[in-house]
Structure 1
């Protein structure tokens, strides 16, 4: 299809609208449950108290605020695609935001000192028990009358547009990692699959074996490892041979496909995953994915993704028919002297190039 035809066709699939709205109107939408800011996203969008205070400062000073992107659902409710933290900050400051079991207005938010308005320190929206440190009516009205633009992806648009928009707006932005973006997309697409992945990431045997740093947990790397397992442990040989390009893009694209798959076998995924990591937890535990030194018969260093790709995916592929548990440790140790592993796991070999070799190696090592 010629480029212009592709442009014309795709533009027809994306219907948008936009206009300015006062913060008072944004508040009214939330009070009437006509906007969904996805409370689950709060674990991924984390502004500090200082960032929140600076945002309120910007509103008071009339500094332009970036537009909020929303997607209109069939019931007319707006799903927030980009702007969760901005809106959450407003709703929290005025005492409306519900987070978990916290009641509205339970804890009036106090601002911090900012660069241009140091007197904001300790100020609250409207605390009847502390009028001295509450904003005046004029100051509250100044905030409520300030305007933030909204860009609306209308419900007639192609089903995947809002997820593409979410990914493009948030990648490299306030969210730290691609997996945090994937988690948010998955929450919008298929909350049941997200909750399965979260449960698997919290599975004790899995956590014992991967032994990640606190930083990697904060960056949701455990969820990425779960996703890699789900997408690759039973993938057919032919499609493995065709793996290439950017693996991060592959993970996102394939995650979206399985999230929309109504026939996805959750039981198969769960059994494959738990059997794999129970097996490893009963053998090498946190040595499972560390480098093995045959000359000293010791495991050294930290978690290695290339080892995970061979061992976890190899055991997962055979989870219904595994070798005896007492053989697993020796088979894992044999990988480190295998010429295929040595060739394709070294520095400078990216995932797209190594996976077509390492996944079949794991399946061979753990076959009966």
Structure 2
């Protein structure tokens, strides 16, 4: 049967092991560099002090902790797929955790918890002056506690760990871009760092005023990816075969494989030139609706897609006609090429290809 053959084929692509390991053993692996917890994740996952203390409480009381999923790389090192915050909290509490710049983080001092309110102020072994330090017996109990690991072995399909990450975190309190950021860290940390750097560039930020909520959801980094994805688009006017968010994630995975080579679609110079020009000409009005007299309203993603695609595709031309760019951008809001392919009734999977392709022609002249 077709279903049985598909199950058999896919099952052969994923090889897993599962076994418990003491926290002491895990600490040794981390100190030896045999576990990569991707400290860049700390910018994405946000556990507060209460959540961290609750994890230590669970370990002390023997409350079961969800399994930690790892992928074994070709060099034998374990990549953490699910469980980054659990492990980094333990490492931080013990005082061995290092951030993305390899700096040793100050040891965690615990706060009061539901079942162990007396945990308030306790630390692993460094006395902060309160006298509240774990005893040798308590430290041994923690190091002997077991964590359950699920391991995807190195002979598994190359995409298995990324697919597993997406499945495990589909219900997590992550924005779509925060989930992409985690994937990108595992795929190519260099590309992640560059995207994060570009998202904080002055000209880019000044053209895109965002709400605090959007800022907290890594939306700027999504816009950076969208810019490069649009610039690299080579499809037709036909709507995308999948939802745009899925399309962007797939594109990012391919881009991560090419990053650092001559085929990389991450063209930093193009990004910098485009937003420098738009900022100098329009500033924060670059992607806000123009009513014929003035700009008003919030940032428009459809305008962003249309304007950045068209200007970047014709950047040499517009750098020589900067004095006329503001008028051209403002005219977008009355142009049928834009109006007929944007708005609430047009889905992103249909909107994006049409806007990107139309804009390249629309911005090829001064009008």
Output the TM-score relative to the length of structure 1.
0.92
Q: Among residues 239, 243, 246, which one is paired with 2:243 in the alignment? A: 246
Deviations 1:231-277 (A, max 9, x none): 11242242x53424311110111110121136454587222212211
| 8 Å CA contact retained: 1:73, 1:79 | yes
Inter-partner Cα distance in structure 1 for 2:216 and 2:250: 23
Match of 1:236 among 234, 237, 245: 234
Q: Look up the match of 1:314.
A: 310
Structure 2 unpaired stretches of 5+: none
Which shifted more, 27-36 or 284-293? 27-36
Match of 1:150, SS state, is: strand
| Residue 267 of structure 2: aligned partner | 269
Name the SS for the 2:267 alignment partner.
helix
Q: SS where residue 70 of structure 2 aligns?
A: strand
Separation in 2 of the partners of 1:268 and 1:319? 16
**1:201 has 2:179 as partner:** no
In structure 2, what is the equivalent of residue 333 of structure 1?
330
The size of the alignment, in residue pairs, is 363
Aligned: 1:354 with 2:365: no
SS in 1 for 2:287: coil
> Could you say if the C-alpha distance between residues 306 and 101 of structure 1 is closer, same or farther in structure 2, counting changes exceeding 3 Å?
closer
Q: Deviations along 1:287-328, whole A, 9 cap, x unmatched? A: 00001111xx11001111011011011111222333611221
1:195-245 per-position Cα deviation (integer Å, ceiling 9, x unaligned) = 33223212211111112223322211111111111111242242x534243
1:76–1:325 distance in 2 versus 1, CA, 3 Å: same
Q: Which sits farther off after the overlay, 119-128 or 9-18?
A: 119-128
Quote the Cα distance in structure 2 between the aligned partners of 1:168 and 1:9: 20
Contact 1:171/1:177, CA 8 A, preserved across alignment: no
**Aligned position for 2:27:** 27
Counterpart secondary structure, 2:316: coil
The 5 Å alignment of 1:1-368 reads 2-99=2-99, 104=104, 107-127=106-126, 130=129, 132-174=131-173, 176-238=174-236, 240-261=237-258, 263-266=261-264, 269-294=267-292, 297-322=293-318, 324-368=321-365
1:191, CA displacement in angstroms? Answer: 2.4
Q: Distance in 1 between matches of 2:101 and 2:276?
A: 34
CA RMSD of aligned residues (A): 2.1
Per the TM alignment, residue 193 of structure 1 is displaced from its structure 2 partner at its CA by: 2.1
Aligned with 1:122: secondary structure? coil
- 1:132 is paired with a residue of what secondary structure? coil
Q: String of CA shifts for 1:5-30, please: whole Å, max 9, x gaps.
A: 22211111100000111112111211
Following TM superposition, by how much is the alpha carbon of 1:281 offset from its aligned partner in structure 2, in angstroms? 1.1
Q: Distance in 1 between matches of 2:127 and 2:329?
A: 65
Q: How many angstroms does 1:101 deviate by?
A: 5.9
